[in-house]
Amino acid sequence: MTKYQPLKKGTVLALSGGVDHLHVICNDPVHYPIDGCDCVLAVNISSVKHGVPHDSTCILQIGDHPFIRHDSYVVYERAVIWKVINVDKKVSEGSIKPQPANIPDEIFKRILDGFDISDDVEPKVRRFWKAHC
């Protein structure tokens, strides 16, 4: 039985590229037959850096979430399907840190809409998103 339950619109900090990045949970846990367990889709948020290419599908700004302190973008190419049991384990270990603030509805809708727009979404992730988000 899990202690931490990732839920739709929830946010966590998790390592990506050696640095904690905000991740948005895109759905409530669902049974995912491919992994044989409950899973969620999570997408990474990263700061826009001048001169560095980035996916401009969904840009977030200061105020869209308390953790966002610079213009940021949704990194659709790094969206991942997380096993809920592994998320709970990583929360217990401290490598995933739940955040108190959820993503507001209008921002969440823009993030989800981006899965249909971005060319960087992996096919497996796109199939999961269409079926469960």
pLDDT digits (tens, 9 = 90+) for 73-131: 999 999 999 999 999 999 999 999 999 999 999 999 999 999 999 999 999 999 999 99
pLDDT score of 41: 98
Do 98 and 20 touch, CB atoms closer than 8 A?
Answer: no
Strand bridging mode 72-83 / 37-47: antiparallel
Q: Whose structure tokens read 């659709």?
A: 76
Quote the pLDDT of residue 18: 80
| Torsion angles phi and psi, residue 128, rounded to 5 | -60, -45
pTM, 2 dp: 0.94
**Backbone conformation region of residue 9, classed left if phi is above 0, alpha if psi is from -120 to 50, else beta:** left
Instruction: Decide if 3 contacts 88 (C-beta within 8 A).
Output: yes
CATH of 11-132, one of 2.60.120, 2.60.40, 1.10.3470, 2.30.30: 2.30.30
pLDDT over threshold 60, residue 1:
no
CA 101 to chain centre: 14
